[in-house]
Amino acid sequence: MAADLDKPSLNASHRCDACGSRAYVRVNIETGINDAGYVDNGELFWCCHHAREHMPVIKARSIVLHILDETRFLTEHVKDDGHVIEGQAAKRPGT
């Protein structure tokens, strides 16, 4: 089970609701009470940019049930010096 945490749950089919880019953040929010008297919830998908832009407003104005933030997968394959270490030969920037 721990190995599953090292793999993203969101994939390329999950798209940002704001711009259509690949989504790296999924937010579940309470949207109100339905006709049967049960709490309804909705899902929002965002790219990293729009998550940073909209998350403060969503947290302030909505009841957030769950946040799945996989933005760490955007940079985990790059070393601090800018060399790519997964799937490609290491190159120095500008060469």
Answer yes or no: are the C-beta atoms of 27 and 42 closer than 8 Å.
Answer: no
What was the pLDDT predicted at 79?
57
* Percentage of the chain modeled with pLDDT above 90: 54
What was the pLDDT predicted at 24?
95
pLDDT band at 17 (very low <50, low <70, confident <90, very high): very high
- Distance between CA 58 and CA 52 in Å, rounded? 11
What was the pLDDT predicted at 6?
66
What was the pLDDT predicted at 80?
58
- Distance between CA 43 and CA 31 in Å, rounded? 10
Domain assignments of the chain as residue spans, ordered by start: 11-95
What was the pLDDT predicted at 1?
46
